[in-house]
Amino acid sequence: MRKVALFSLLTLLLTMGMLITAVSSEVDRHTPGFPQSVESLQLPAILPVNLSDVEKAILELSKQGVLSEEDAAKLKGFSNLSLQDAVTRIGNTELRNSLLNLSNKDVLSPDDVEAFLNYLSSLKTSGALNPVDELLALRALELLAKANQSPYTSRILLTMLSVLKDLETQKSGNLTTFFKGSLQSPAEKVFQSFPTLPLPLLQLPTAPQLRLSLPKIPYSVLIIAGICCFSTIALLFGKRLAAHFSKKLNIRSIERMQTLKVGDRFLEAYWLSVHIVSTISGVKKVDSETHREYLARVCQRLGPGVADLFRDITTAYEEYRYGFRAEAGQRVLNGFGKLMEHARAST
């Protein structure tokens, strides 16, 4: 029985292990520090940032005095500026010429946009570009990109916000309530993830976290595993516990039992003795079994004291029952009394 229980426990553990392995196969299998997939390297196709957000930010900065009146005037009606107006308002001649050259192109390729953004970056790094000119140049570029249906529109808008953020940071030293309040949560996240340096403005993927948590196991698996564990424990130890309690109950029930309805107290004493030893040993008497056959079988499971006692009872019972010796009846009764005492003491 124990071997069977251990075997079932091992089978259970193996099954659980296989299930856990199957579930944990969904865990990311990538080197920490690298993006999880190629998709994450691409810019988000749609960002919840539009031109009105940029204009709102400009107005807010103007109110806070981050932008001078002259700069605010240049950026007035930012969202409604035409390409010509935007280019006209740019103070940097070189930049203005570059934009005009760009606008003269029939088709604006992604490489052209990329090259212009790099050009803006280089100008900014060299200090030859002020933020207002940069914003206007970006507005003009955005108009050109939109006209050519370039996917770079969103990136340009984000760059605009980045410029405004840098402007505010330079003036106030920290982020103002505007960026916390006016920008919506997804945009804010993107914004906050920007590097301190203005360019390149590629959204860096967030560093993948090392997951040390256990894989998710379905509830059904947990319930089945629980039932199996309980059954195994019950199989291993339950029988012993149950046998112990049932033994106590059975022996107490004998004490309460009035008679076995045999009509002979000596015969009753023998059959009650059979009941006691079968309770103690867990070996039940089969109907087709003779008294000696049962004695031989049950003695293998009884202690030497009880076995000798039951042997005497059986012999006396045979003498009384089949040998018609009345004096043997008393021996059955005495043996039964001793057996009861032993049973009470042992339980």
Partner 1 sequence: MVILFVFLDNLFSLGYSIIVVWCFFAMAIFDVVKKELIDREVLIEKENELKLVTSALLSRGHVLMEGVPGVAKTYTSKALAKLLGLSFKRVQMTPDLLPSDIIGYYVYDQRSGGFVLRKGPIFTNILLVDEINRASPRTQSALLEAMQERQVTIEGELYKLEEPFMVIATQNPVEMEGVFPLPEAQLDRFLIKVVTGYTSTKGLVKIMKNADEIEEAIESLKPVIAHNEVLEEIRKVRYVRIDESLYSYIASIVEETRRHAAVRLGASPRAAIALVKMAKAWAYTSSRDYVIPDDVKAVAQPVLMHRIIVKPELELQGVTPDKVVEDVLSRIPVPKP
Binding status of residue 288 toward partner 1 by CB under 8 A: yes
Give the DSSP per-residue string, 61-99: HHHHTSS-HHHHHHTTTGGG--HHHHHHH---HHHHHHH
Question: How big is the chain, counted in residues?
Answer: 347
Binding status of residue 85 toward partner 1 by CB under 8 A: no
Binding status of residue 267 toward partner 1 by CB under 8 A: yes
Contact indicator for 194, 201 with CB cutoff of 8 Å = yes
Q: Which one of residues 55, 71, 142, 318 is an interface residue with partner 1 (CB under 8 A)?
A: 318
- Residues 233, 234, 235, 241: what is their CA dihedral angle, to the nearest 10 degrees? 120
Q: Which one of residues 291, 301, 338, 342 is an interface residue with partner 1 (CB under 8 A)?
A: 291
Binding status of residue 271 toward partner 1 by CB under 8 A: yes
Binding status of residue 323 toward partner 1 by CB under 8 A: yes
Contact indicator for 5, 232 with CB cutoff of 8 Å = yes
Query: Which residue's CB is nearer to partner 1, number 111 or number 287?
Result: 287
Distance CA 95, CA 112 (A): 14
Q: Which one of residues 57, 87, 268, 281 is an interface residue with partner 1 (CB under 8 A)?
A: 268
Number of Cβ atoms within 10 Å of the Cβ of 158: 23
Cis peptide before 200 (omega within 30 of 0): yes
Task: Please tell me the count of residues contacting partner 1 according to CB under 8 A.
Answer: 22
- Nearest distance from residue 269's CB to partner 1, in Å? 10
Query: Which residue's CB is nearer to partner 1, number 211 or number 292?
Result: 292
Binding status of residue 312 toward partner 1 by CB under 8 A: no
What is the binding site for partner 1 (CB under 8 A)? 260, 262, 264, 267-268, 270-271, 287-293, 318-319, 321-325, 327
